[in-house]
Amino acid sequence: MGRTLAQKQDIVGELQQSLSDAQLTLVIDYTGLSVSQISDLRNRLRETGGTCTVTKNTLMRKAVEGDENWQPMEKFLSGSSAFIFVKDDLGAAIKAYQAFQKDSKKTELRGGVMEGRALSLDEIKAITELPTKEELIARIAGAINSIPTKVAVGVNAVPTQVAVGIKEVPASLVRAIKAVSEKEDSQAA
């Protein structure tokens, strides 16, 4: 028994909501996966803030219709499609999918869409090489923490340099007077 028009409209609404929450959507061919394997993929993605939805391509076409941000996805809609919606940690979600793909050897990544642009497989792989949000925060915190240390070292160095300079003035003066005195003595003799 097929779905009613109202059920299909509800599914399209849910897909549109998932798309509006996502920063990146991946399209995979899930042919040959069992229900337990799809559940495994969903569990792996859940840990990264991602979700996986299996739906008909026609319903996804309806969901992206008129939405310039997600319309490039239409070129990936063929065959058996599952959609991975990634909200926050893009690299971790892609890595979770790649680990699943390596384990199952049954799925194929067709492509992805982000910020109104279709992404190739190489571009998706490049996202995994970006630092995570936590790594970026740690780098920024390290840079911010190093500023007061550098300022303190600089401030401490100023009095030391001034003291060395002040100490050097009398010694230089004594050497200069001695040199002049020796020069006068040698001229007088």
Q: Are 64 and 73 in contact (CB under 8 A)?
A: yes
Tell me the per-residue pLDDT of 12-65, one tens digit each, with 9 for 90 and over: 999 999 999 989 999 999 888 889 999 999 999 998 889 999 999 999 999 999
For residues 162 and 96, membership in a common domain is answered with no
For residues 51 and 106, membership in a common domain is answered with yes
Tell me the per-residue pLDDT of 143-158, one tens digit each, with 9 for 90 and over: 888 777 777 666 776 6
Percent of all residues in the chain with a pLDDT value above 90, rounded to a whole number? 31
Number of domains in the chain: 2
The predicted structure's pLDDT at residue 174: 72
Q: Are 85 and 50 in contact (CB under 8 A)?
A: yes
For residues 66 and 82, membership in a common domain is answered with yes
For residues 74 and 112, membership in a common domain is answered with yes
For residues 116 and 159, membership in a common domain is answered with no
User: What residue numbers bound the domain in which 76 lies?
Assistant: 5-130
> What is the domain-level CATH number for residue 56?
3.30.70.1730
For residues 82 and 169, membership in a common domain is answered with no
* 90-104 helix and 35-46 helix, angle to the nearest 10 degrees: 150
Question: Taking CA 72 as the corner, what is the angle to CA 70 and CA 74, rounded to the nearest 5 degrees?
Answer: 95
